[in-house]
Every structure is written in C-alpha cells, then in structure tokens.
Amino acid sequence: MMHRVVFLGPPGAGKGTQAAQIARDLKVPHLSTGDLLRTAVAARTPLGLEAEGYMRAGGLVPDALVLKILHERLELPDARVGYLLDGFPRNLAQAEALGTFAEIDRVISLDVSPDLLVRRLSERRVCSKCQSVYNLSTKPPKSDGKCDLDGTPLVQRPDDRAEAVTNRLKVYAEQTAPLLDYYEKRHLLRSVDASGTPDEVAARVRRALA
Ligand code: AP5
Ligand code: MG
C-alpha cells in the first residue's frame, strides 16, 4: 500500500477532486497546500496576509511560507501514517526540501489538454465557508448557487479569473512541469489521462497506484 503520494498536474487538472477520493482509499489525509493557504487567507493570519497577493495574481507563494504551513500540518498526528500531497511540491526547490524529510512512494501526474483546463477553471465554483468544489456544468450544486453541505453561497476563486488563470498555466509550465522529469528519473512517476468523468479518472489513478 502506498502511504506517501504526490499529485502533480496543472491548475484545473482535477487534483483536489481526485485526491479527496484516493486519500480515502489509502486511509491517509489529503494535504493541499492551496487549501491550507486559502484557510490562512480567510483567517487573516500573518502568513495568510503575506500569501494573499501572490495567490490572487496566480504566482507561487514563496517557498519558506509554504514549507512553514506544510510542516505545521505534518505535525498533526493523522499525518504520521502518510499523506497524499496535492499541489506540493511545485518547483525544484520544494521537491528537494521534500526529499529531506520524506520518502515518496509514488508521483501521479494528471494530464489534461489546455482547453479543457481553462473550461474546468472558468466553470468552477467553491463554497466560501467549507471550500467544497463544484462545477457549473459537470458538478452543479443541488440548489442554484448554494453549497450542498451548508447552504452558503458559492463564489469564484479569485485566481480563477481569466488573467490569473493565464499566469497560473505559465507558472506551471515554467516551474512545476520540470518536476515530471525529476520524478521520472527517480522512477516514481506515473502519468494518468485526466480527461473523462471523475470516476473514469479515479479508476486510472487506482491502477497507477497498484
Ligand atoms: P492550488 O489550490 O494548488 O491550485 P492549482 O494547482 O492551481 O489547482 P486547482 O486547485 O485550481 O485545480 P485542481 O487540479 O485541484 O482541480 P479541481 O479538482 O478543483 O494553488 C492555488 C495557489 O496557491 C497557487 O497559485 C499558489 O499561489 C499557491 N500555492 C499552493 N501550493 C503552493 C506551493 N506548493 N508553492 C507555492 N505556492 C503554492 O477541479 C477543477 C474543476 O474541474 C472543478 O470545478 C471540478 O469540479 C472540475 N473537475 C475536476 N475533475 C473533473 C472531471 N474529471 N470531469 C469534469 N469536471 C472535473
Ligand atoms: Mg485544487
């Protein structure tokens, strides 16, 4: 059984959607640095206030801040058994840092064409309270514009605006895509076609983790 897994993939590839299901299968917590950062922004912590501008523009938050928030989360007892990392590492420096404190069992790359990424991101809506993720065409809420779980209004993520999306895709290509080679060389990488329904993709991810 895999206990330390990394999900790589461009914005909108479905990392969060897949990680939620797969982490349950593996019985490990789903750790998304994006979710941890958004929680810090919402809580107006000093770290959140520092991170907010980078996120809004679709750039990377400085490594030191991301490593701090990740280390704090890894100290919670549930992470002792392992974890599924979603959105970390995102550049070579973060991959090197991860290598100093964890042995990764496998890296899954979720591959989606640029057109489909842009469509998924423009149609995404999230709960402003619990961060649950919806999609106007592929996963609409039961009641228009409201979260199924708590009825809170759904909003668009600030970085899902068109200008920020363009920047996020560029940052992915320049800084994160080199990690595919990095993990391929270490024989840890499995690429998965992440088009199709969430269940179809999950079946492919499960095969890649077997
Ligand atoms: P982060 O939150 O990690 O965002 P991201 O990488 O841009 O990825 P997304 O969350 O946008 O997409 P996803 O792949 O999770 O897709 P989802 O499942 O939601 O990071 C945000 C920001 O935080 C960064 O820009 C940066 O500023 C900062 N940050 C985070 N980590 C950092 C780090 N390590 N270092 C530095 N900075 C960091 O799906 C998208 C949509 O598609 C949804 O609507 C969903 O319902 C739908 N969908 C998903 N799968 C399918 C499917 N199979 N079929 C149909 N629809 C689907
Ligand atoms: Mg996500």
pLDDT digits (tens, 9 = 90+) for 70-97: 999 999 999 999 999 999 999 999 999 9
135 within ligand 1 shell (Cβ under 6 A): yes
Which residues have CB atoms below 5 A from the ion given as ligand 2? Answer: 16
Ligand 1: residue of 30, 32, 60 to mutate (most ligand atoms within 8 A of CB) is: 60
pLDDT of residue 162: 92
- SS3 state at 28: coil
pTM to 2 decimal places? 0.97
157 within ligand 1 shell (Cβ under 6 A): no
Q: How many other CB atoms sit within 10 Å of the CB of residue 100?
A: 6
Provide the annotated active-site residues: 15, 90, 124, 157, 168
- Which ligand neighbours the alpha carbon of 124 most closely? 1
160 within ligand 1 shell (Cβ under 6 A): no
Please answer whether residues 121 and 17 qualify as being in contact, where contact means their C-beta atoms are separated by less than 8 angstroms: no
Low-confidence stretches of the chain (pLDDT beneath 50): none
For 147-193, give the DSSP string.
Answer: -TTT-PBEE--GGGSHHHHHHHHHHIIIIITHHHHHHHHTT-EEEEE
